[in-house]
Structure formats: C-alpha cells, structure tokens
Chain A
Amino acid sequence: MCSPAPSPLKNCLSFLPNNMKLLSLDFCRRYWRTMALAIFLFLLSAISNLGIIFAMVFLFRPDVRSGLAEVMRIILPLPNNVKLLLLDFCSRWWKALTISVIFSALTAASGNPGMFPAVVILFLLRRDARNGVAKVMRTLPISSSERDRMIWFMVVLAGTILAIPAVMYGTWIYSRNQTTISIPDVWFGLFLAVLRSFGLAAAFFLCFVLGSDVRPVQFAERLRKILVWVIFFVQLTYHVSPKLETWDVLNYILMSLTVILSFCWRHKIRSDIS
C-alpha cells in the first residue's frame, strides 16, 4: 500500500512536535479564512521597514521556504528544468536576496528601488559562474536558449518583482511627502516605478551582457555597446518629479524599449555568467 505524499503544509511544520503539529494543522483548517485575512492585513501593514523585515525573515525560514518551493514548483508556468534552476538559485542565495530587498526598501524613496536587487542578482550569477556552477549548468539537460531566458528573467524581471513591496513602500512615502502631486494616484505611481525598475534592470543586464570579453570585439558589437551605454545614461537622467513631463514620458518609452531589447539580445550573454 502506498503511503500518501506529505503535504507542503506538513513539511512546513516539521519543526514542531507531532501533537503540536496536529493541533496547528487542525487550527489552520478551521480558521484559514481568518488567517488569510490576517496575512492580508499583515501584508498591508508591512509597508514599514520593520514589517518588511519581519515578513521576509518569516517567509524565508527554511521550513517555510521548502513549502514555498513546493508550491512554486507546481504553479510557476515554466519548463520543469528552468523551474528547478530558479528555485535552486533562490534557495542558495535567499539570504543575499532578502538583504537586497530590505536594502532596496531602505533606499526606496530614491525613486529606483528595484535596481538594487537586479544588480545583486547579476553579481550572484557571476559569482556562481566563477565558482564553477555555470559549468555544472552546461552539463545539465537544459538548452542554451532556456538558460539565457532564465538569466534574463532573473535579472530583469525577478529583481523588480522581489522589490515590489519596497517599490510600494517607496511610492507611498514619496506620494505622502508631495504637496502638489500630479500623478493621479499611488497605484499609477507604483506602475511607473515598476516600469522604471524594469528599464534600469534591463539596462544593467545589457551593459553586463555586452561587456568586453577576451576575444576581439567586432564593429556591430561595439555599436550595440555604445547604444546600450547611451540608453543607460539617458535613463539615469530621470528624476522623481511631481509632474510627469514630456521628457519623462519619452524616458518611460525608452525604458520599455530597453526591456524588449534586453530580451532580444539575451542570447549574447557572456560566457562568464552562463
């Protein structure tokens, strides 16, 4: 007779004695709606540094982490091997990722909160590569295009997604301090901040991807590099202002283009990170 597979929730609670586990599970079963509401309220109230720190520390407890990994493995709409790589990266570097998100929360009011996790992820990938992890990845049954897509996803999208609580916090702080705010509401501000964050992460990604390698650089590659540096510096000219001006709108369009460009050029990832 086959024994039933342990549920993720049971795994999460494996640190408790058996009786405690039974009581907790029973409690969860009976009061899950109340708890869900409490978590929702907690997340709402987590727009303070302390709240974010507590939330992250709780979420990344090893037991909770393994449960979350199980859930992510089921729900992530990605090929199985890519999912395994993503989850493996997160489980190995969760401390660095947590710190980067907390740091981006602390610097949220600067206007570019999502940039920091993107840079951290890039450097973690590079560190992994230097430690021989890239070579291990190369031997696994994953295609180069899947691997490049995963690296792009992690640097350009995941950094910002991870930093969304911080972006929310930053936008809220920023809009609260403005006396004459032209941005219609906080949620539109949040959207713009996320877009800004994607754009900067994509520019970082491109700068890194097209960084000079040992081999001689060709003319087309040199042109691409110049274009990316121009995009990067134009993006840096953005400053958080109470009014959305034409230049800002153009900059947001450029940011969106950078994200698309980074996706198109993702396969040019340098050998020392892939």
Chain B
Amino acid sequence: MNPTSAIKFSSVEKQRYPKFTLGPVTLNVPTGAIYGLIGPNGAGKTTLMNLIFGMSAVNAGAIEVCGYDHQLDEVAVKQRTAYVGPELNFDTWGSVENAIRFVSGFYPSWDDGYCSQLMEKLKLSKNKLIQKLSFGSRIKLSLILALSWRPQVLVLDEPTTGLDAHGKQALFSELLSVVKDESRAVFISSHQISDLERFADHIGILHKGRMIAEGMIVDLLERFIRVGFVGVSGDAISRLPGMFVQQREGNQWRVVLDTKHCALASLTEHGARDVQSGPITLEELFIVLTK
C-alpha cells in the first residue's frame, strides 16, 4: 500500500458536550510533507489530533492514516504513527531510562543507536528522574520516544512549547530529516507561526472548529495579498466577499484580499483609488482570518 496521503480527514465532525462542535473538517497531509495546523486557543487543534488516536470518537466522517482507517485498523495506524503532545506524561515510569525501556518494547523497529544520538543532540540524560525534568525537557523526552522507532507519520501537538531556541532548532532539523524520506510525513500544530512558515510546506488554519484556509503555504501566500487604497465614503466596498479589513482610518483602507473570491480589479470598480498591493506574512494572514 503506497497512498499519496499520509493523513486524510474526510468531513470529520466531532461534538463535545455541551456546545463545542468541530468540523466538518476535510484535510489532506501528503506524504513527504510537513503540515502545520494553526488556530487560536480552543479552535479544536488538539481535539482534531486526538481523533487520529481514538482518544475520542468521531461523530461523522472518516480518518485514514497511510491508507488505513483509524477505527477499523487501529493497530495498523498506531504502528505507523507517533504522537507528541503536552498531555503525555511519563512521570509514573520514574527515570528516562525506564520510560525508554517501556515504550521500546512495543516497537520492533526501535533503533537504540538513533535513540542515543537524539538524546545527545537534545541534551537529555538517561539517568534523570522524569519528575525533576523541566517542561521543555519532558517535551524532548516525548520527541525522542516518538522519533526513535522511525514512524511513517509524526503527529506533534504543540511540540515547541517550552523549548528554547536550540531545542527548537534541533527539533526542526530532525523533522526536516524525517521528511527527506518521502514516504514519511509530519502533522504539527503550533502557535509559533514564524517557525512553521520557515519549515512547513502545507498549512491549515482552524478557527472555531472549522477549517477556514488550507493548502500549500506558497499557494496561500499567493492567493491572499495585502492591499492599501483610498476608498469611497460608502460601506459597499467593505461588504465585498473575500475582503478582510485590517485597518481603516477615514478613507484610508488597509485590507487583506482573497484573490480567489475578490479580484484586485473589483476594488477599482467600487471606486478605490491609489491601490497598492504587496505580499502578506503567514502571521498576518492568521490574525486577519481569525479576528
């Protein structure tokens, strides 16, 4: 089986009692890619990732990982997918060595040599007690446990939280080396949008349980542009579909335009003058779309 999608969500819906509803979400993490998932707090990023591992059941839709259904072929999915998240807690195993011994037993592909290399690179000692580790070091431990058996798909829920600059650098260089092998993929959620902009190929923006923009970063940054213009006094222009107002001072407008729904020419048709356009950063796009 050699599917082109590492992870595929098809119209997935999840209702959480009493009122939060996620979806319907459709997204596709291609093999050989780093897919970044961003969204404000409470948007449903962790819920979406948890669904892959059956930490809660989906109400509608289907999830496939490497071509396997996440419910029917639960074990096959988990044999190919590793998870790192802030809620994973290995305290109960006492020392780092014990945690490694426990987890390694479940994976025949566990690579001790690679595990030691990662420990050295991320500066973590086997003899340390997990309870005495800092938050960042705990994340490092989760990363080591996830990477050491060379999974096909890595699901990382906010792995950069608590990591210092060196740690982040080491993490992303490891992730890049993971996706060098084109049959593997990384699905990562993070609030560090600038990091994702540098390292990820694809991005999905989740807001209030809905996927509001998704695709290759390059395509998204081409599709959305920053535009400044002098407008007319009426409000008709502000109601144009695909236009997101960033700032307005009198007749001076600064907007982000979704060129898929609103061409630059339509602004002038509505009376805009001195139209100036420029590229947008991912962070700006995120703020505008989730405002």
Contact = CB atoms under 8 A, between A and B. Distances in A.
Interface stretch (B2-10, B102-110, B192-200): B102-110
The secondary-structure label for the interface of chain B is loop
B172 interface: no
Contacts of A135: 55, 85, 87-89
A109 B186 CA distance: 59
A142 B78 contact: yes
A132 B17 contact: no
A136 B87 CA distance: 9
Contacts of B91: 131-132
A141 B75 contact: yes
B17 A214 contact: yes
Contact of A139 (B17, B56, B82, B105): B82
B89 A132 contact: yes
B53 interface: yes
A132 to B, nearest CB: 3
A84 B107 CA distance: 12
A136 B75 contact: no
B92 A84 contact: no
Given A138-B54, A139-B53, A139-B83, A144 B89 contact: no
Interface string A195-226: 00000000000000000001110000000000
Contacts, number: 53
B106 A132 contact: no
A243 interface: no
What is the interface residue range for chain B against chain A?
20 to 34
Contacts of A128: 92
A131 B266 CA distance: 57
B90 interface: yes
B90 A136 contact: yes
Q: Which of A132, A136, A216 neighbours the largest number of chain B CB atoms within 10 Å of its CB?
A: A136
Contacts of A136: 88-90
B92 A133 contact: yes
B106 A140 contact: yes
A188 B64 CA distance: 54
Contacts of B54: 138, 144
B253 interface: no
Contact of B78 (A84, A139, A216): A139
A271 B50 CA distance: 13
A222 to B, nearest CB: 16
Give the one of A131, A138, A144, A215 with max B CB within 10 A.
A138
B75 A143 contact: yes
Contact of B106 (A138, A141, A214): A141
A132 B79 contact: no
A132 B142 CA distance: 13
A139 B85 CA distance: 11
Nearest to A139: B83
B130 to A, nearest CB: 11
B74 interface: yes
A140 B106 CA distance: 7
B21 to A, nearest CB: 14
A88 interface: yes
A49 interface: no
Interface in A141-189: 141-144
A221 to B, nearest CB: 14
Given A139-B88, A140-B78, A81 B17 contact: no
B59 to A, nearest CB: 12
A90 to B, nearest CB: 13
A92 interface: yes
A128 B89 CA distance: 10
A271 B17 contact: no
Nearest to A145: B74
Nearest to A81: B106
Interface string A9-34: 00000000000000000000000000
Contacts of A84: 102, 105-106
A140 B93 CA distance: 15
A84 B102 CA distance: 8
Contacts of A142: 75, 78, 106
Given A84-B102, A92-B93, A140-B78, 9 more contacts: A84-B106, A92-B92, A132-B89, A136-B90, A140-B103, A141-B79, A141-B107, A142-B78, A215-B17
25 contacts: A84-B102, A84-B105, A92-B92, A92-B93, A131-B89, A132-B87, A132-B91, A133-B92, A135-B88, A136-B88, A136-B90, A138-B54, A138-B55, A139-B78, A139-B82, A139-B88, A140-B78, A140-B103, A141-B79, A141-B106, A142-B78, A142-B106, A143-B75, A144-B54, A215-B17
Interface of B: 17, 53-56, 74-75, 78-79, 82-83, 85, 87-93, 102-103, 105-107
Closest 4 A/B residue pairs (Cβ): A132-B89, A141-B78, A139-B83, A141-B79
